[in-house]
Structure 1
Amino acid sequence: MGRETPLLLVIKRVLLVFSLLLSPVICAAQTGVDASQYQKFWLWAGVRPQPVLHQMSELYLYQGEIVRQQGKARLWSKGIPVSRLKAPKLWLSIRVTTLDIPEPMLDAMLTLREKWVAAGNQHVGIQIDFDAASYQLDKYAEFLSRVRNKLPKDCPLSVTGLLDWAKTGNVNQLNQLPVDELVVQTYQGRKTVTNYDAYLPALLGLTIPFRVGLVQHGEWDKQWQQRLSQSSYYGGEVVFLLN
C-alpha cells in the first residue's frame, strides 16, 4: 500500500484516543455484580423473583418488620406468604427498628418460623436486620442474647452488619455476638457504598462466620473474594436482588 496521508494519520489518532477513553467504561461494567454468578440471595418485599433463584443454595427472605408505634411494638408481616420453597436453606429476614421489643413480639417471630417449617421447608433460620451504631454494639449484643435464648437449638441466628462495625467499632465485640453468622452489607439503599473496599481489611479480624452482602448491578472487586477467603470464617457473598 502507499504512504498514509496526513488525514488518515489524524483519523487513526482520533480512534486511538476514543478507544482509550472507552476502555475504563468497559472495565467498570465488568466489575458489576452479576447475580447469575452467585448462589445466595436476598429477596425483599416488592422484588420480583428472577431466574437466578433456580440456582440458589440459600435464600434470605424478607418477612416483615418490628416497629414501635404509640408505645406498642408490632410485627408488620410483609413479603411472600408462607409456602414451600425449593431453597436448600432458608433464612427469614426480619427488619428491626427498635431494640425495645417485648417478649410477645419475639414469640411472634418464632411462631412465623414454625409456620415455614410446618410448610415443608428445612433448615430455616432467623436473620435480624438492624442498623446498630458501632458504639451501641453492647446493647445490640444484649438484645441478640434474648433472641438466642428464645430460639430452638436447630434454629441458626444471622444478623446483617454495617461496614464500619469492624473498622470503627470493636472487633472483639463483634466476635462475641451470640450469632451463627454476620453478613456485612457493602451497600446502602440500592447502591454500593463509596470506597467500600477501605472497610474490608478489618473483616479479616473476625473470628465468627461472616459473609459480604452485595447489591445486584453494584460494584464489587472480585479480588476481595480471594483476599477474604484467606479467613476460614469467610462464607462468600450474598446478593441483594433488584427489579
Structure 2
Amino acid sequence: MNICIGFLFSLTGITSLTEIGQYRAAVYALEKFQKDNSKSNITFTFEARDIRSDPIESYRQALDMACSGIKVFVGCYTSACRKAILPVLEQYDCLLIYPALYEGQEIHPNVFYVGEIPNQQITSLLKFTIEQFGKKVYLIGNDYVYPRYTNQQIREMLYELDGKVIGEKYVPLGHKEFSTYLEEIKHSSSNAILSTLVGESILPFYKMYYELGFNPEEMPIISPITTELE
C-alpha cells in the first residue's frame, strides 16, 4: 500500500529562503522514516508543489492535489497560506501538518499545529529583553497575519511586564529598504527592536542595521522567527 503526501512549500517567492529549508527537512524525514520502516507493507511517497509565497497559489495547488486523492499535506509556512487552504481541507476531509510557529488564535480539526504560539515562546523572550536591555521595545514586521496578530499579543504581554511599545511599523512582504525605518528607531528611546520580518526582508534589514552603526549591546534585534537558516 502506498500513501502519497502533498508537500506545499514556496520553492520560489519571497519566503522561499526559509521554506526551501523546511522542504528539505520534510524530504529527509520522510526518507528516514521509509528507511527505518523498510519492512512495512505501507510505503510513503510525496508530491511537491511550489506555492510561490502566494495564498491563492496555495489554494490552487492544494485543491488540485486533493482532487487527485491526496489526503495529507505538509507545509504552508505563512499563516496567510495556511488559512487559504482551510476550505480545501474541509471539503475533501484532508489533514495539514503545519510545521511553523504561528500566532495562535486558531484551532482547526483538519490542521495539526507543530510550532509554538506566542505565550509558549515570546513571553520568556520579552522577560529576558526587559531584564537585560530595558522596557521600551520597537515592533517591526511584514504586513500579514502572523506579525499583526503576534504584535497584538506582545502589546498585552509588555503591559503585564510593565514594558512599553515605542513604535510599530509594517512593511509589505519582500520589502528591502529599511534605512528610513531604522533611522527613526535609532533616534527613538527604544531599548530593543522586536522583528517579525520574514523571507526576503530579513537580510536587508539586518544588513542596514549594521551599516547604520547600531550597537547590539545597547539596542539589539530580538526575533521569535529568524533562524540560523536566514
Interval of TM-score (by shorter of Structure 1 and Structure 2) = 0.3 to 0.5
TM-score normalised per structure 1: 0.32
TM-score (norm 2): 0.33
The higher radius of gyration belongs to 1
- Richer in helix (by share): 2
Structure with the bigger percentage of strand: 1
